[in-house]
């Protein structure tokens, strides 16, 4: 039998490796930005076209590469950061595997220009699908410019799996923000399709956060600082009252590298316990400095998940540090054992004993007597004034001659009786039977001819609102309620851009936008059934849904918007409904075109027949 195992050609191996390293355009952005940081760049520009599908270009003023390094950087397992296996446990740089550029060059058209400060001219390299097309001398500034064009041009199946431009660009923005926040000492510029979205100057960590997420973020931050032998924490957490429904503002940076950790995220949630509303998530921007030998970065292809030697200790330190900061800045109550001199007993009362106050009551006082009883002093304001026939209200309370009546026998005390007036309309003798009732403030149960109906109030109301909003968006007929005072809502620049994209559809539902700013939007009118206090939550939900799954067609965009608003404004689980509200919800649901399913394809109601109930008791 012939041998069947053979070595893969280099270009095939590179394409396979690219599947791990380059999952989408954002992966290329991350690798190129990290290379620029490792090159000691102080100024980095990111240019993107068509959400990275057409062009991703990173220009830096770093140290640049020699002719040999420029050519060798596109070979597999070629890196300047690792010399031996021990170096894997002393990593202070970003990319280190030596696969990034080789993988990118295997699935795209790459053009590299690089020059060192000591050289007079630089290197111009053109690679297409791992094949070097040309390598020549060029005039270029000090640093490196690398352009990645036509991503996945030779793997059309991978290109077809990419999401819409809005979704892919959101991932690029996320990677850009993570790298920019981890390095506030570097200036960053992001340009998409010729429009400048971020221009971040060199600043401190707090100012970098404000520049990315908007000026209003500054007043929402609470500093966190803790220095121990195993961990040094610095950064900020958001005040609980500004917690968002999305997890977009949660950042851990371990040794200037962004990571995701559900375990450490739980430590933050534990510190905020009792301070957050249901369904909201705390914001945090924390830098964690740990010894490099205590972490393993090489456990995930994207290096966003790392392994700690002692996670339990880190958990306890982070939780305590955040809790201490919240208490220190009067965000949460704490036990303060420092003595406050203002609460001390005054010197003159130091040796005095507390005396029990004496209360004297005049038991003979009667406010209905014309003259006060002897031995008492009655204020003039309490003197009774004879007016009309008021004594009739107190029949038999006093006997003739002001002789006091014995009230010890309660049966002898007369009571007033209200006169029953006849009704203008005849009342039905049979009380209207109750057809619905609420179970655990979650389900509405109604009787039907065959048995009973059990309805999920949240999912059912979502279906009702969804069809209403979809009709308004399709027919472009909406009713707005004008606000007495316009509402100014603050968002990041990227979120404002998303609101502008769906501004027309939002206006068809009833929103009226009076002004747009770089990090704020002013609203002067809202849909008729949207409370003013819910406006911010509705827009946050819309932004979150659009960032995660923006459809391409216009109709689908309207469908997504209707789903988002229905999800935000639907009756919540735990909300008490009156009997009329329950009946109205049942009737509204069955007036819908598709009452069986919620907008997210969840069951809205079930039925239990009498036969099914009978079987339960057999």
Give me the CATH number covering residue 444: 3.30.1370.100
Q: Domain range for residue 92? A: 10-200
Coil vs helix vs strand at 613? helix
Examine the domain organization and report whether 15 and 62 are in the same domain. yes
Q: What is the pLDDT of residues 146-159, one digit of tens each?
A: 999 999 888 888 88
Coil vs helix vs strand at 53? coil
**Would 417 be classed as within a structural domain?**
no
**Would 47 be classed as within a structural domain?**
yes
Contact 365, 378 (CB under 8 A): yes
Q: For residue 444, what is the enclosing H or E element?
A: strand 443-448
Closest to 58 measured CA to CA, from 181, 184, 188, 195:
188
Give me the CATH number covering residue 156: 3.30.565.10
- Mean pLDDT calculated for residue range 498-522: 85
Examine the domain organization and report whether 97 and 70 are in the same domain. yes
**Would 580 be classed as within a structural domain?**
yes
End-of-domain residue from the set 174, 200, 226 = 200
* Percent of the chain scoring above 90 in pLDDT: 28
- Mean pLDDT calculated for residue range 112-131: 91
- Mean pLDDT calculated for residue range 178-197: 93
Give me the CATH number covering residue 241: 3.30.230.10
**Would 486 be classed as within a structural domain?**
yes
Give residue 229's pLDDT: 87
Q: How many CA atoms lie within 13 A of 483 on its CB side?
A: 21
End-of-domain residue from the set 328, 360, 376 = 328
Closest to 204 measured CA to CA, from 234, 229, 175:
234
Give residue 476's pLDDT: 72
Examine the domain organization and report whether 468 and 537 are in the same domain. yes
**In whole angstroms, what is the distance from residue 139 CA to residue 288 CA?**
41
Coil vs helix vs strand at 517? coil
End-of-domain residue from the set 282, 312, 328 = 328
Which has the minimum average pLDDT: 197-201, 229-233, 430-434? 430-434
Greater model confidence, 247 or 314: 314
Give the pLDDT band (50/70/90) at residue 203: very high
- How far is residue 238 CA from its own chain's centroid? 11
Examine the domain organization and report whether 64 and 155 are in the same domain. yes
- Mean pLDDT calculated for residue range 354-371: 79
Give residue 553's pLDDT: 45
Examine the domain organization and report whether 260 and 191 are in the same domain. no
Give residue 54's pLDDT: 93
**Would 414 be classed as within a structural domain?**
no
**Would 597 be classed as within a structural domain?**
yes
Examine the domain organization and report whether 191 and 245 are in the same domain. no
**In whole angstroms, what is the distance from residue 537 CA to residue 222 CA?**
23
Give the pLDDT band (50/70/90) at residue 394: low
Q: What is the pLDDT of residues 534-543, one digit of tens each?
A: 888 888 888 8
User: What total number of domains does the chain contain?
Assistant: 3
Which has the minimum average pLDDT: 177-186, 201-210, 278-287? 278-287
Contact 187, 144 (CB under 8 A): no
Which has the minimum average pLDDT: 331-345, 559-573, 592-606? 331-345
Examine the domain organization and report whether 68 and 141 are in the same domain. yes
Question: How far is the CA of 89 from the CAs of 82, 281, 294, 297, 529, in angstroms?
Answer: 10, 34, 8, 9, 58
Examine the domain organization and report whether 454 and 591 are in the same domain. yes
Alpha helices, H only, 485-553: 493-501, 503-509, 535-548
- Mean pLDDT calculated for residue range 88-117: 78
Give residue 329's pLDDT: 79
Examine the domain organization and report whether 65 and 127 are in the same domain. yes
Give residue 15's pLDDT: 64
**Would 564 be classed as within a structural domain?**
yes
Give residue 125's pLDDT: 93
Is residue 422's pLDDT more than 80? Answer: no
- Mean pLDDT calculated for residue range 170-190: 93
**In whole angstroms, what is the distance from residue 204 CA to residue 206 CA?**
6
Examine the domain organization and report whether 186 and 285 are in the same domain. no
Q: How many CB atoms lie within 10 A of CB 74?
A: 21
Contact 206, 238 (CB under 8 A): no
Which has the minimum average pLDDT: 12-21, 524-533, 604-613? 12-21
Give residue 393's pLDDT: 56
Give residue 142's pLDDT: 93
Give residue 98's pLDDT: 59
Q: Average model confidence (pLDDT) for the chain?
A: 81
Give residue 321's pLDDT: 93
Give residue 428's pLDDT: 45
With tokens 């980095």, the residue in question is 44
Which has the minimum average pLDDT: 133-137, 254-258, 420-424? 420-424
Q: What is the pLDDT of residues 469-501, one digit of tens each?
A: 888 877 777 778 888 888 888 888 778 888 888
**Would 614 be classed as within a structural domain?**
no
Q: What is the pLDDT of residues 304-349, one digit of tens each?
A: 778 788 889 999 999 999 999 988 877 766 555 555 556 666 666 6
Examine the domain organization and report whether 112 and 222 are in the same domain. no
Give the pLDDT band (50/70/90) at residue 554: very low
Angle in degrees, CA 269, 273, 274, rounded to 5: 145
Instruction: Show the tokens assigned to 242.
Output: 């500004």
pTM: 0.68
Give the pLDDT band (50/70/90) at residue 380: very low
Residue 432 is classified by DSSP as P
Examine the domain organization and report whether 105 and 218 are in the same domain. no
* Percent of the chain scoring above 70 in pLDDT: 78
Instruction: Show the tokens assigned to 600.
Output: 């997210």
């Amino acid at each position: 039998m012939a041998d069947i195992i053979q070595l893969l050609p280099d270009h095939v191996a590179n394409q396979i490796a690219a599947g791990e390293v380059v999952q989408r355009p954002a992966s290329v952005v991350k690798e190129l930005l990290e290379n620029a940081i490792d090159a000691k760049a102080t100024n980095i520009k990111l240019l993107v076209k068509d959400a990275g599908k057409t062009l991703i270009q990173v220009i830096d003023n770093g140290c640049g590469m020699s002719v040999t390094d420029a050519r060798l950087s596109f070979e597999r397992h070629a890196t300047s950061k690792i010399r031996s296996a021990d170096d894997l446990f002393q990593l202070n740089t970003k990319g280190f595997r030596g696969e990034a550029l080789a993988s990118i060059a295997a699935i795209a058209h790459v053009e590299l220009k690089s020059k060192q400060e000591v050289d007079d001219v630089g290197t111009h390299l053109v690679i297409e699908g791992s094949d070097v097309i040309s390598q020549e001398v060029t005039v270029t500034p000090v640093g490196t410019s690398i352009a990645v064009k036509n991503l996945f041009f030779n793997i059309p199946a991978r290109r077809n799996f990419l999401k819409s431009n809005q979704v892919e660009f959101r991932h690029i923005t996320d990677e850009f923000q993570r790298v920019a926040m981890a390095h506030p000492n570097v200036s960053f510029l992001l340009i998409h399709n010729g429009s400048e979205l971020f221009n971040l100057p060199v600043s401190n960590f707090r100012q970098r956060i404000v520049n990315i997420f908007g000026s209003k973020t500054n007043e929402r931050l609470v500093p966190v600082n803790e220095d121990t032998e195993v961990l040094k924490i610095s950064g900020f957490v958001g005040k609980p009252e500004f917690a968002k429904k999305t997890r977009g503002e949660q950042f851990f940076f371990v040794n200037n590298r962004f990571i995701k950790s559900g375990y450490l995220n739980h430590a933050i949630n534990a510190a905020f316990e009792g301070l957050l509303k249901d369904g909201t998530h705390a914001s945090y921007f924390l830098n964690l400095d740990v010894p490099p030998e205590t972490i393993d970065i090489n456990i995930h292809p994207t290096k966003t998940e790392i392994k700690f030697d002692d996670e339990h200790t880190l958990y306890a330190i982070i939780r305590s540090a955040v809790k201490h900061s919240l208490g220190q800045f009067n965000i949460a109550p704490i036990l303060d054992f420092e003595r406050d001199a203002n609460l001390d007993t005054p010197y003159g009362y130091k040796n005095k004993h507390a005396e029990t106050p004496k209360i004297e009551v005049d038991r003979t006082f009667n406010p209905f007597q014309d003259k006060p009883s002897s031995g008492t002093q009655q204020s003039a304001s309490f003197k009774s004034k004879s007016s009309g026939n008021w004594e009739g209200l107190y029949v038999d309370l006093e006997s003739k001659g002001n002789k006091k009546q014995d009230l010890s026998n309660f049966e002898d005390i007369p009571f007033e009786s209200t006169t029953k007036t006849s009704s203008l309309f005849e009342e039905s003798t049979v009380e209207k039977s109750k057809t619905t009732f609420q179970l655990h403030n979650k389900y509405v149960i109604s009787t039907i001819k065959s048995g009973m109906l059990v309805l999920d109030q949240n999912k059912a109301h979502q279906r009702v609102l969804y069809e209403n909003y979809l009709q308004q968006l399709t027919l472009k007929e909406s009713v707005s309620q004008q606000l007495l005072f316009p509402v100014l809502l603050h968002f990041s620049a990227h979120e404002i851009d998303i609101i502008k994209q769906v501004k027309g559809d939002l206006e068809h539902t009833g929103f009226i936008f009076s002004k747009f700013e770089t990090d704020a939007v002013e609203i002067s009118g809202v849909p008729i059934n949207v409370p003013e206090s819910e406006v911010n939550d509705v827009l946050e939900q819309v932004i979150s849904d659009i960032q995660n799954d923006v459809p391409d067609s216009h109709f689908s965009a309207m469908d997504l918007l209707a789903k988002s608003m229905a999800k935000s404004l639907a009756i919540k689980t735990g909300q008490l409904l009156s009997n009329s509200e329950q009946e109205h919800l049942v009737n509204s649901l069955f007036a819908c075109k598709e009452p069986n399913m919620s907008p997210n394809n969840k069951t809205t109601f079930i039925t239990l027949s009498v036969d099914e109930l009978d079987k339960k008791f057999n």
